[in-house]
Structures are given as structure tokens and as C-alpha cells.
């Protein structure tokens, strides 16, 4: 049985429809990702599920039943943007939130798992971005939740801090907890999620594991060349191409044949790059746009 089930969820703000009939089910112990660009409706979807905002229409089932008052005690949430009570240290804030729950995690274990030891006695608003996200993650876990919501957990973090955060999320996953993650970072989705739903304009446009999605929508490899490598009088190529900034990207199932074609047409291959497709390519294929746009 799915731990969480969302059926035909709709959320309107006036005439604007932020979420347009989203449905999915999340099995227990998996990490489910909502991937999409900014404004796709990911945060609205997750906040309706979290019971922070009310849906316009639709049904949300937790453990097969509509959510009750105990739902908040059983879930942990890391919001995209939030502030905390001022003039409290990291440790005091953890203890304060711990006291709001009946079932609680061991603070020392939590502190060790999220690597909070070095800044435990600092005020909660006087820590770095990476420290803050690990701390917010610890807050989300303070009640030993069965279901954890992570809304854009690594936004604004440098690559090192992002890796550190992912490491902690992997540990949570390894502990058997169910995770719902929203992100516009395909690397994050690929690194953490077992299953992904790609959202665009309030709808889910594709769903599956990262590998399935890539296989289904981007069969071949991506060949990248600088725009300057192409002569304007070049005869048309056998595959369609996308101009991405100062590069040209082409996708092909037959790399050898395509390289031979480029050589035959006197294209300069000195700066050619070949890479396997990723979720970014899936999104590009599905929408004609990039995730970052």
C-alpha cells in the first residue's frame, strides 16, 4: 500500500491555476522527487500535501486514509523559505521543537547525523547557508517522522555544502524513511530519487525512475559542439539540433554514424563533447525548454 496518495489535486489562486489535477502515489521507504522549473507548481503541491495550504479540489490519503490531526506529528518538513524563533541557539531551537512532539528522536544522534556539533551554541540566524540547511533538516527529523518533505533543500548552497546535505539525505533514506523532495536541480533528483515526477505548468508531464525517464525520452547520446564549428553554408544534418548559449546540442542513437557524417561535412570536431543524457535532456525533450529557464 502506498504511504501517500494524491488524487487529482487542484489548487487555484483566484483565476490562476497553480496545480492542475496532479495525481501520484508514493510507496513506503522510497524517495519521490517532484522535478521542474521555478513556478511549475512543485512547492504549492507539496504545501497542500503538508496541510499548510488548503487544496481547491482533490484528495490526499496518508496510510490509505484522509489526513487527521496526528498527520503533523508523523511528518517532518524542511521548507524552502522559513525563519525561526529569534535569539535561540541551534541546540535550544532543536530542544524547543522536540518539546512540541510526543514521539521524538534522540538529539545527540540527530546532531551527529546532521553534523551540527560545531555550531550548536550559535544563534540559529548566525550560521552559514550549508549549516543552516543541515540544521533545518535536523529540525525536520526531530519527531522521528515516517514521511519527510524536503522542499528545494540545496537551493543556494555551494557544491560542497550540497554534497554534504545529500549525504545526510542518503542516510535518512537508508533508515527506511519515505521522502518527498522537490527540486529544479536534475543532479539532485538523479542522486537522491527512486522515482521522479516531472512537473511543468502545474501538471505532471512524465513519471518514472531517473533511468526509465532517460531511456524513454532520450535514447541516445548528446553531442555538443561550439556554434563556431559550423559553417553557415553547411548542408542540413540528419538529426535535429538545439542552440544552447554558444553551443549546439544534437542527440543521436548512432554515435559512430553521426561522427562520420560530421567529418564528411567538414565540421571541425576539435572541441566536440559527447555525454550521456540526463534529466535535463528529458525535460528539454518534453518541453523544448531547459529546467533553469
Partner 1 sequence: MQFNRLWTLFVARNREFLRDRAAFGWNFLFPFLIIGGFGLIFGGDRYAEYKVGVFPVETENAVPASLDIPEQFRRTQYIQFVGFKTADEAFDKLKHYRIDFLIKAGPPPYPYWLNNTSPKGYIVEKIFRSSLLPPGQSLPAQKNEISGRQIRYVDWFFPGILTMNMMFSALWGVGYVVVRYRKNGVLKRLKATPLTAFEYLSAQMLSRIFLLMFTLAVVWIGCDLIFSFHVEGSYVDLAVVFFVGSLSLTALGLVIASRGTSEEFATGLLNFIAWPMMFLSEVWFSIEGAPYWVKSFANIFPLTHLLKAVRKIMNDGAGLIDVGPELAVLALMTLAFLAIGAWLFSWNR
Q: Edge-to-edge strand order for the sheet containing 2-13? A: 16-27, 2-13, 57-62, 65-66
Binding to partner 1, residues 88-107 (CB under 8 A) = 88, 92, 96-97, 99-102
Binding to partner 1, residues 155-214 (CB under 8 A) = none
Q: Which is nearer to partner 1, 181 or 282 (CB)?
A: 181
Q: Which is nearer to partner 1, 118 or 125 (CB)?
A: 125
The three cell numbers locating residue 8: 487529482
**Binding track, positions 213-252, relative to partner 1; x by CB under 8 A:** ----------------------------------------
Binding to partner 1, residues 114-143 (CB under 8 A) = 143
What torsion do the CA atoms of 274, 275, 276, 277 make, to the nearest 10 degrees? Answer: -110
Q: Is 37 helix (H, G, I), strand (E, B) or coil?
A: coil
Number of residues that bind partner 1 (CB under 8 A): 25
- Could you say which of 15, 16, 87, 264 contacts partner 1 (CB under 8 A)? 87
Q: Which is nearer to partner 1, 101 or 241 (CB)?
A: 101
* Residue 234 DSSP label: P
Q: How many Å separate Cα 272 from the centre of its chain?
A: 30
Binding to partner 1, residues 34-73 (CB under 8 A) = 50, 52-53, 69, 72-73
In the complex, the smallest distance separating the C-beta of residue 82 from partner 1, rounded to whole angstroms, is 4
Question: Is the CB of residue 251 less than 8 Å from the CB of residue 222?
Answer: yes
**What contacts 256, CB < 8 A, 6 or more positions away?**
none
Q: What are the residues facing 89 on neighbouring strands?
A: 123
Q: Which is nearer to partner 1, 3 or 251 (CB)?
A: 3
Q: Which is nearer to partner 1, 147 or 196 (CB)?
A: 147
Instruction: Say how many Å lie between the first and final Cα of the chain, rounded.
Output: 37
In order of 226, 237, 268, the CA distances from 231 in angstroms are 11, 12, 9
Which residues of the chain form contacts with partner 1 (CB under 8 A)?
50, 52-53, 69, 72-73, 75, 77, 79, 81-88, 92, 96-97, 99-102, 143
Amino acid at each position: 500500500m502506498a504511504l501517500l496518495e494524491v488524487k487529482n489535486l487542484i489548487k487555484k489562486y483566484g483565476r490562476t491555476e497553480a496545480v492542475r489535477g496532479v495525481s501520484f502515489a508514493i510507496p513506503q521507504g522510497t524517495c519521490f522527487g517532484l522535478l521542474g522549473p521555478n513556478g511549475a507548481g512543485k512547492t504549492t503541491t507539496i504545501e497542500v500535501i503538508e496541510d499548510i495550504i488548503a487544496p481547491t479540489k482533490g484528495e490526499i490519503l496518508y496510510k490509505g486514509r484522509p489526513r487527521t490531526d496526528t498527520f503533523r506529528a508523523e511528518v517532518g518538513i524542511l521548507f524552502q523559505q522559513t525563519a525561526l524563533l529569534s535569539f535561540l541557539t541551534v541546540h535550544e531551537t532543536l530542544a524547543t521543537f522536540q518539546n512540541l512532539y510526543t514521539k521524538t528522536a534522540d538529539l545527540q544522534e540527530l546532531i551527529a547525523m546532521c553534523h551540527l556539533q560545531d555550531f550548536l551554541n550559535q544563534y540559529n540566524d548566525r550560521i552559514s547557508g550549508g549549516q543552516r540547511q543541515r540544521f533545518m533538516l535536523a529540525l525536520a527529523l526531530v519527531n522521528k517522522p515516517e514521511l519527510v518533505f524536503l522542499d528545494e533543500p540545496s537551493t543556494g548552497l555551494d557544491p560542497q555544502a550540497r554534497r554534504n546535505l545529500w549525504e545526510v539525505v542518503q542516510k535518512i533514506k537508508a533508515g527506511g524513511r519515505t521522502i518527498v523532495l522537490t527540486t529544479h536541480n536534475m543532479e539532485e533528483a538523479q542522486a537522491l530519487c527512486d522515482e521522479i515526477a516531472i512537473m511543468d505548468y502545474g501538471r505532471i508531464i512524465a513519471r518514472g525512475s531517473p533511468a526509465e525517464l532517460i531511456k524513454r525520452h532520450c535514447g541516445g547520446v548528446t553531442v555538443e559542439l561550439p556554434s563556431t564549428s559550423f559553417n553557415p553554408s553547411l548542408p542540413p544534418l540528419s538529426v535535429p539540433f538545439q542552440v544552447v548559449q554558444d553551443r549546439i546540442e544534437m542527440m543521436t542513437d548512432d554515435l559512430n554514424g553521426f561522427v562520420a557524417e560530421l567529418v564528411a561535412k567538414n565540421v571541425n570536431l576539435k572541441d566536440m563533447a559527447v555525454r550521456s543524457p540526463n534529466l535535463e535532456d528529458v525535460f528539454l525533450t518534453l518541453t523544448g525548454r531547459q529546467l533553469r529557464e
